[in-house]
Structure 1
């Protein structure tokens, strides 16, 4: 029985990690930026997200979109992790339509904008090759718009929001 639960949890982690990254790729593309760099680092991103989802240490996946000349944040997309995994035959889904609607609402970003992925994890989390500590850009003067849960697999889920200028 334990092997079934472990395999099912591993499947949940894989599903949620994959769909978080696919959602971020869609955000990058739909706001008018080139996702080539993001896709090129897919294995690195997946290794960090999957490892810390698996250990329960991942708190938030953040996509910062910023002005490279001023280093100021233009918009930030946050995906907060919910660890309510229940096992069994729970549902699984990704709300891509809700995400697309929010992206249209947030609008396009300037073509010269850049982006980077940050993973916020709990203290004491295991190290993952290719990942190191980093600080996020200031969110002063920004307001949060919540979309609610956008990825779910047997209670392991992700809620998306974005921060924009007030």
Structure 2
């Protein structure tokens, strides 16, 4: 008996993009915030992540939770992208337990908090409909806590970290 498996870069980018979005939805929800705005913009977020993953320009997906009155950062979540894709055996995983533990450790956001998602890309990136250049909030006075690889598909991976006041 012979078994044949085919994995493509498109499968990997789809898997990683979808799981980044699911991870951020969990972060929003488990941080005590309403995920409605995030879910309402799911396709816009997915398009940006997937297209820039496919082109190799996406470096980091950022979720900023901030105070709406002062615009000050409360906590920030990063998912850094690692491009080591191979057409090998098609290994894939998402470490939701590690992420849930970190969310619990980071704590509940104030009820009035808001959030934004940003995509960091390399220079020369192609245009993606609905996305434009911008800047994020300052992390001065914050410490970064790395969680390690949380999403992986055939070597295309994503490592999570969060920033909180030092």
Unaligned runs of 5+ in 1: none
Q: Alignment partner of 1:86: what SS?
A: coil
Distance 2:134 2:9 in 1: 29
State the Cα distance separating 1:129 from its structure 2 match. 0.4
Range with bigger deviation, 83-92 or 120-129: 83-92
Post-superposition CA distance 1:142-162 (Å, at most 9, x none): 000110000000000000000
Residue 8 of structure 1: CA displacement? Answer: 1.1
Give distance in 1, aligned partners of 2:164 and 2:46. 26
For the residues of structure 2 that align with 1:116 and 1:67, how far apart are their CA atoms? Answer: 11
Provide, for residues 78-124 of structure 1, a one-character-per-residue CA deviation record: whole Å limited to 9, x for no partner.
00000000112131000000000000000001010000000000011
Within 5 Å, give how 1:16-165 maps onto structure 2: 16-165=16-165
TM-score, with structure 2 as normaliser: 0.96
TM-score (normalizing by structure 1): 0.96
Higher helix share: 1
Cα separation, 2, equivalents of 1:69 and 1:107: 20
Aligned residues: 162
Structure 1 runs of 4+ aligned residues shifted over 2 Å read: none
Report the Cα distance in structure 2 between the residues aligned to 1:82 and 1:90, rounded to whole angstroms. 16
Q: Distance in 2 between matches of 1:21 and 1:89?
A: 24
> For the residues of structure 1 that align with 2:137 and 2:145, how far apart are their CA atoms?
18
Q: Where do 5+ consecutive residues of structure 2 fail to align? A: none
In 1: Cα distance, 2:94 partner to 2:58 partner = 19
Aligned with 1:99: secondary structure? helix
